[in-house]
Structure 1
Amino acid sequence: MSDWMTPALFALGLWWFATGAILYLDGLPRRTFRHSLLAASLLMVAALFALNHSAADTSVAMTYCSFTSALIVWGWLEMTFLMGFITGPRKQGCPEGCGGAAHFWHATEAIIHHELSILVAAIAIAAITWGDPNQTGTWTFMLLWGMRLSAKLNLHFGVRNFSEEFLPPHLTYLKSFFRRRRMNLLFPFSVTAGTIVTVLLVQQIGAAGNSEATTVCFTLLATMSGLAVIEHWFMVLPLPFNALWKWGLKSRELKSAPAVMRVHDCSKAVHTHRIVTVEAAAKP
């Protein structure tokens, strides 16, 4: 059991922590974004070197290294999008009544640069690991890409939960490209495909003749695939799943608190000024 439990818990913990950390950084004042992205960019470059190094080594340690490096690259892409650095040429939502092909095209315009950056990253990862025996990082990135693309399409076609509180203020216009429905026609196919992939990966975990590193690799991939399927279900089930990252949203509460205090202090000052003015006018 420990052969698969440790990598499963590792993948689960890293997924949960990385998501919360990105939400936290994205919720800080925008003046901090450049510093956060600079640090993340240095980490991303290191991750690419680690992917290149680990691809030639099929040990357990290098399997974990390859997986973690792929998640770091993915996290960097998410940060560039959520912080507004790489999104798309369209910076406003759809007008009222927009629908059909035009609505889909507008949604594509809003995120096309981000999608192209993912494509470039995928090509780079495939190139630096090409022909090497340890493909854990490449498979991880491709799996994340496929499932995230599926999630974006489902958001566009309509789901119950948008998780709009995850969107920072400078990206709230993206909500105009979402539709609120109980479910859409793509959703069953997305969940079915994701479930099949997860089952196939789970079957490979216990395959005869697997090395320890191979078992770790397939466990990591199966865990991420399973989490992606669960994330899809989060979009249609009426559950408060966002509470999982409540700690990551704390930075938005901290950022909004001073603004509220300033409004309160301003109102108090105006009220005091009015009292003083009235008292002064009442004096002979």
Structure 2
Amino acid sequence: MLLDLRRLTHFVAVADAGSFTAASARLHISQQALSQSVQLLEKDLAAPLFVRSGRRITLTAAGTQLLAEGQVLLAAAGTVADRVSRTADGADEQFVVGHTPALSGAEVYTCTEPAIAAFPHLSVTFRQLYPDQLRQEIISGTVQLGLRRGVVPSSELSTAVVGYDRVRLAVPADHRLAGAPAADIHDLAGERIALWSPPGSSYYSDFLMGACRRAGFEPDFVVSRVQGAATVAAPLTTGAVAFVTTQAGPAMDGRVHVIDLEPELLVGVQALWQRHTRSAVREAILSAVPL
């Protein structure tokens, strides 16, 4: 059975608005036509989607499932329509890569370089977005590929691991560990650790806090007040140590030292993209990942 996308659009509008009255005004159609459209969709699926009590409506279990899947499907349909239209007009393809602050522009370039080389006329834009923004932009289709640190399953998006980076420690130049060739993670007990996002709002922050807890201590942390800068700059604005993926050695004109962390800690880079879509550019990036 094929879903009628027009009826699906009507259902999603009602579910989002919380009423047929508000949804009909938003869609500029009569409430009667909207109600009939949703009833036909329920008939198509042989499943009730709303529990109706007077003017009040609530989603059934089937309706909740359809809302989650339907929003993704409609977004993909919009992406397909836009790409077909751009192809018919002869417009150059534009590929937007969103990434969380935990990845630098240089790291994002390294991940996407295979596609940049394979498509010489491709216009590529990098956008730094916080995790919740990144997710929404991918679902809506305004970002064609997202990159974030931390590997977490997603029911809304397709995902793949595109690499692992070694985590190191960045410390102020006058820090007690600055001259050490390496630091044991246990040495960080009692140290304040700089994060870009508080735990619970960033998979990468959760990953780092989990590594400390597995080492036997509860980490003390501070969120950097300067957002969007390179992670290796965090010790300068916080006075704290920071987990980074930068190469070992002096950084920030020698004001920060990056040292190896032991035991070795690797963090994954996860790619995310809109389900139900295909992209030769995206495939060029994913196919370059070593198995």
Pairwise TM-score range, normalised by the shorter structure: under 0.3
**Structure with greater contact order relative to length (CA < 8 Å, sep ≥ 6):** 1
Q: In proportion to residue count, which structure has more helix? A: 1
TM-score norm. by structure 1 comes to 0.24
TM-score norm. by structure 2 comes to 0.24
Q: In proportion to residue count, which structure has more strand? A: 2
